[in-house]
Amino acid sequence: MSEYQYYEFVAIDQPLTEDQQAELRTISTRALITPTSFVNHYEWGDLKAEPRRLVEGYFDAFLYLANWGTRRLAFRLPAEVFGSSATAVLNRYLVGDCSTAWTTGGHAVVDLSTGDDDGEYDDDWLDGSGLLASIVPVRAEVMAGDLRLLYVAWLLAVVNGEVDEDEVEPPVPPGLDRLSAALRMVVDFLRIDPDLVAVAAERSAPLRIDDTLTELSGWLAQLPEESKDAFLLRVARGEGPRVRAELLAGCRRMAASFGAGGEGGRTAGELLAWARGRREDRQRAAQEAAARRAAERRLAAERAREAHLTQLAGRQDQAWREVLELVERRTAADYDAAAALLADLVEVCRREGTSETFADRVAQLRREQRRKISFLQRLDRVGVV
């Protein structure tokens, strides 16, 4: 199998200028470059640039996929959405090599990656097209003060063994029990254990966006006039979505729901153990359900066969005529049907105590059809002697 690498970068807050597009073109002559994206895939080559540099300088989201198992996501966000403690907030959640963050030029970059340890080629998602579009809404959630992505990033480090089992989890953000579609895609894409997410969510408070909106008017009222004017000016300049996200994030910080969350107090080892137990319970329940379904199917098949044999017992002479008609058609399928019908008659006669009479009729049938070797072989295979 040939190699496959897929790179996709997206500019969200601000489109690329013509000069920036020209700069990117020097990196790749075959990439699809637009004012909002850079997309390319490689089968026998690689990107002639460091993705980290491209994210820092040009793009707000990045996805990488290789068919040997490596997967990577990165998001560039305005540092101000985390407030004055951006570095502290990020450092609480993003640890290890697979879950990192840094600040640069007024932005915070969240970089997440995972690999396949078995060394085999990855059969999932060999074509990366469309994946980032389904994931990128997560960025808007974080910009609005939703820290679930950061907690999921910490779970990624736990899964990859980069967190000591004695280490206590960071604050658990609200809404972990009801992930958005985009965040579920992140969990799937990065191969984060869904059972680990589920047990972590047990101490996650509900995510109440309506409560934040209710509190927003009070938070806006205490803002300085110059700050309000600055927000209005940015909206007029077309930054409405970004301004909304910053306002919601600021309101959540005031309400201590941003950067705080519920203090779970559980260790990484406890979460892994509970996830393992949950997975075993789920697998055991699935096996028991499968066994019940199999038993129900067997019972239904037995009842159907009993009904068939009862019906056949009442029309044995007609069944024998059907056998002769099938044999005379001289096709493989008809020989099979005739042999199967005779096998059922064997069972009927055994139950009625008329096996000797049946054996005589079969012997006569064999003599009459002795030249139909293929049919006789079928009788031998089903045990009609």
pLDDT tens for each residue of 277-287: 999 999 999 99
Quote the mean pLDDT of the chain: 87
Task: Indicate the range of 194-198, 207-211, 248-252, 339-343 predicted with least confidence.
Answer: 207-211
Q: Global pTM? A: 0.73
**pLDDT band for position 241 (cuts 50, 70, 90):** low
Cβ proximity of 262 and 203 under 8 Å: yes
Strands 61-66, 5-10: pairing kind: antiparallel
| Angle at the Cα of 26 from the Cα atoms of 42 and 104, rounded to 5 degrees | 90
The token pair at 193 is 């254990």
Measured between alpha carbons, how far is 211 from 268 in angstroms, rounded to an integer?
31
| Percent of the chain's residues with pLDDT above 70 | 86
Q: Cβ of 21: how many Cβ atoms within 10 Å?
A: 15
Measured between alpha carbons, how far is 147 from 94 in angstroms, rounded to an integer?
12
pLDDT at position 239? 66
Q: Could you read off the pLDDT of 105-135 as tens digits, one per residue?
A: 889 999 999 986 555 555 555 678 889 999 9
pLDDT at position 260? 45
Q: Could you read off the pLDDT of 171-185 as tens digits, one per residue?
A: 999 899 999 999 999
Cβ proximity of 284 and 278 under 8 Å: no
Region 305-323: mean pLDDT is 92
The token pair at 238 is 């077309």
Q: Which residues contact 32 (CB under 8 A, 6 or more apart)?
A: 38, 39, 40
What is the maximum span of the chain, computed from C-alpha positions, in angstroms? 108
> What residue spans define the domains of the chain?
5-266, 314-382
Q: Could you read off the pLDDT of 184-196 as tens digits, one per residue?
A: 999 999 999 999 9
Whether residue 242 is predicted with pLDDT greater than 70 in this model: the reply is no
Q: Cβ of 211: how many Cβ atoms within 10 Å?
A: 15
Measured between alpha carbons, how far is 62 from 9 in angstroms, rounded to an integer?
4
Measured between alpha carbons, how far is 372 from 181 in angstroms, rounded to an integer?
64
pLDDT at position 164? 94
Element (H, E) at 198: helix 194-200
Helix (H, G, I), strand (E, B) or coil at 119: coil
Measured between alpha carbons, how far is 103 from 286 in angstroms, rounded to an integer?
45
Q: Could you read off the pLDDT of 75-101 as tens digits, one per residue?
A: 999 888 787 677 888 999 999 899 999
Cβ proximity of 111 and 74 under 8 Å: yes
The whole-angstrom distance between residue 191's C-alpha and the CA centroid of its chain comes to 8
pLDDT at position 374? 92
**pLDDT band for position 154 (cuts 50, 70, 90):** very high
pLDDT at position 195? 96
Phi, psi of 33 (to 5 degrees): -120, 125
**pLDDT band for position 254 (cuts 50, 70, 90):** low
**pLDDT band for position 15 (cuts 50, 70, 90):** very high
Q: Could you read off the pLDDT of 31-70 as tens digits, one per residue?
A: 999 999 999 998 888 999 999 999 999 999 999 999 889 9
